[in-house]
Structure 1
Amino acid sequence: MRHAWKKKIVFCGFLILFILIIFHPDMNVRGNYEYIEKELVIKRLHEETAANFTSSAVLHCDYRDVIFDDTTLSLSLADDDLVEDHKIKEGGEYAPSDCKPKFSTAIIVPYRDIAEQLRGFLVYMHMFLHRQCIHYRIYVVEQMDSRPFNRAKLLNIGAVAAMKAGFPCLVLHDVDLLPLRPSNLYACTKSPRHMSSSINKFRFVIPYLNLFDGAIAIVSKQFKAVNGMSNEFYGWGGEDDDLYARLEAQGIKPCRFEPSTSQYHKVTLESQIRRDRSRKSVIYSKEKMALDGLNTLKFTEVATVLHPLFTHIMVDL
């Protein structure tokens, strides 16, 4: 009888240990996917600033301390106010004054009807990005019409505006994602990078290896090479798989930073849950890539306003 109880205790112990391992938020262990080792990150970065960007600083910014920063930012920053003298230019543009940045990045955010979340995102992101010593500008592209949401088309519109302004690097970014690690540098690597591979919604584990959504960094020339994203995805889902397929067709293999660096917090509001999720089925083909994207982009620009924290592009699709 005592022996049977011992067996039960041992079994329960193993069961509890198994559950802890499976559901532990940091179970995204080494080898979960291929990633760039921190020691190699600097060599893999695409070093380029915007064509019209100038800096009076003499010395270049050093990014080694950023890449090896092991701190995690508090989500409460989204509820705070920006510190005084934040030096953000009209339109949400910033560059450090004490050193010359090596990277210029346009952060493009598709958006509609979640003002409270946008405000928190902007405050958090500016405080996050100030730690990275890069030149950046935040573009918020808002869909004003009543049609189902078209995330990919809004990203195309923002990309066109950013590339027209001379930005060599694009970060395609959902408004409900907040990066947790300052070491997740908002600069492009030489190949497109899936930045948000470790999200709290999925217990910081990537659901499948070809996942390519949330936050993506891509060199502007590469985005042009695949003709941007499809304009046909109204509703939610599928457009990121299509972008991945476009890159694959061009022989471009995406990359990632290590899981701990790529951690994000996904903010979900009740209003988001009720949004329209209808989806038009779109079939991908290499031939279709040339006929659907940046070269077929049509929209009506309602207005473009330079706010203190962002460039606001309002459009009807």
Structure 2
Amino acid sequence: MYAALALIAIIVFFASFGTYHYAHIPEETILNELYRKTTPNLIKKNIQCKYDEILESTISIESWEVPTNNDDFSPTGIDNGSYVPECDPAFSVAILGMLYNIGARRAIADQFPCLILHDVDLLPLDRANLYACTRQPRHMSASIDKFRYVLPYSELVGGALAIRADQYVAVDGFSNRFEGWGGEDDDMHARIRAHQLDVVRFPRTRARYSMLVHAQAPRNAERFRIMAEKRRAHADEGYRAAPYRSV
């Protein structure tokens, strides 16, 4: 009897966890929502981004195919920049928001108008998941295998976020106050909404990811307290104050 009740409780939990049918940009209007500004390097090279061809792609893989087939999803014919900030060994716990801010500062200095803030443990499964910015900030990883391909909650922007450089500067990027796991992405959503911006998403067929298995970083026990505080104008609060050095 108890086993049956436990099974029912598990089924109810998973049935009510997250949503498959979240609000998203209709497929037929995605091209109209794209942010078309490009880096001067692309303009000089006369490279054309073939967004329509990417969006028409039906190539996908399943999460269990990732270890052998992920090379098929390497970008070809696309000029972009990748920045991988690393935490100083003096820090015992990584501060993800600060690392994002450091990468963003370098990319913006190099005149990239679109930023993709991307966790390294996520791999896209659908080629039609366009790595480009839209007019509004876009939560790219809305459908992850670890969460049964459902969106856990509508305020989520963690995992992979595409945001225009000018919008990132306007919201002052991520907070530098969240150490370890958790909090910085929910705080980022609050910053986005506080600046009258909306978070948009692509349909599930263009937003699937596989999360690589790894040990989880220590949870930030202070994350709820920090999020509950009124945002203050700390010198160490966001994008503008993130310390870094190039090597």
TM-score interval, smaller chain: 0.7 to 0.9
Give the structure 2 partner of residue 138 of structure 1: 82
User: Is the counterpart of residue 47 in structure 1 residue 39 in structure 2?
Assistant: no
CA distance change for structure 1 residues 292 and 263 in 2, over 3 Å: closer, same or farther? same
CA shift for structure 1 position 195 = 0.3
Secondary structure of 2:123's partner?
strand
Higher Cα Rg, which structure: 1
Q: How does 1:245-260 map to 2 (within 5 A)?
A: 245-260=190-205
User: Is the counterpart of residue 206 in structure 1 residue 195 in structure 2?
Assistant: no
Secondary structure of 2:85's partner?
strand
- Indicate which of 77, 95, 115 corresponds to 1:170: 115
Secondary structure of 2:172's partner?
coil
Q: Deviations over 1:241-299 (max 9, x none)?
A: 10000011100011000012100001112xx23x4334434135355488711222224
> How many Å separate the matches in 1 of 2:207 and 2:134?
14
Aligned length: 229
User: Is the counterpart of residue 280 in structure 1 residue 215 in structure 2?
Assistant: no
Q: Is the 8 A contact 1:67 1:183 kept in 2?
A: yes
CA shift for structure 1 position 143 = 1.2
**TM-score, normalised to structure 1's length?**
0.65
**TM-score, normalised to structure 2's length?**
0.82
Give the structure 2 partner of residue 149 of structure 1: 94
Q: Is the 8 A contact 1:129 1:186 kept in 2?
A: no
- Indicate which of 4, 24, 27 corresponds to 1:35: 24
> How many Å separate the matches in 2 of 1:286 and 1:68?
42
Q: Is the 8 A contact 2:26 2:203 kept in 1?
A: yes
CA distance change for structure 1 residues 61 and 165 in 2, over 3 Å: closer, same or farther? closer
Unaligned regions of 5+ residues in structure 1, if any? 1-18, 81-123, 305-317
CA distance change for structure 1 residues 38 and 298 in 2, over 3 Å: closer, same or farther? same
Q: Deviations over 1:50-108 (max 9, x none)?
A: 13432145xx343222112122136656557xxxxxxxxxxxxxxxxxxxxxxxxxxxx
CA shift for structure 1 position 154 = 0.3
Q: Deviations over 1:156-198 (max 9, x none)?
A: 0000000011100000001110010010100000000000000
Please tell me the root mean square deviation across aligned C-alpha atoms, in Å: 2.7
Unaligned regions of 5+ residues in structure 2, if any? 1-10
> How many Å separate the matches in 2 of 1:168 and 1:208?
28
Q: Is the 8 A contact 2:176 2:236 kept in 1?
A: no
